[in-house]
Amino acid sequence: MERAVRFSFSISQALTRAPFSNMAPDFLVMGPEYRYKGYGGLLAAGFWNHYWGIDKSMSYVRCP
């Protein structure tokens, strides 16, 4: 068992990507309510497209 666990870790931890980090949005815009509403206080969140613009199909923007 020890060998299996040791094999699963990279020798170079600094170069190892965190699991599921590809599912985190590229940007978050937090409003003043974020402090007590948590994710309900987000004004925008999402991903960039290939041209570094907002990918509207993969983003959320709340209009005030």
What is the mean pLDDT of the segment spanning 21-46? Answer: 90
* Per-residue pLDDT tens over the stretch 37-46: 998 999 999 9
- H-helix segments, the chain: 2-8, 34-37
For 53, other C-beta atoms within 10 Å of its C-beta total 8
pLDDT at residue 18 greater than cutoff 70: no
User: In this structure, is residue 48 part of a structural domain?
Assistant: yes
pLDDT at residue 21 greater than cutoff 70: no
User: In this structure, is residue 13 part of a structural domain?
Assistant: no
Q: 27: which residues sit within 8 A by CB, 6+ positions away?
A: 44, 45, 46, 47, 48
- The number of folded domains in the chain is 1
Q: Taking a C-beta distance cutoff of 8 angstroms, is the pair 28, 22 a contact?
A: no
Q: Is the dihedral of CA 54, 63, 35, 32 positive or negative?
A: positive
Domain that holds residue 26: 21-64
What is the mean pLDDT of the segment spanning 26-54? Answer: 93
pTM of structure: 0.61
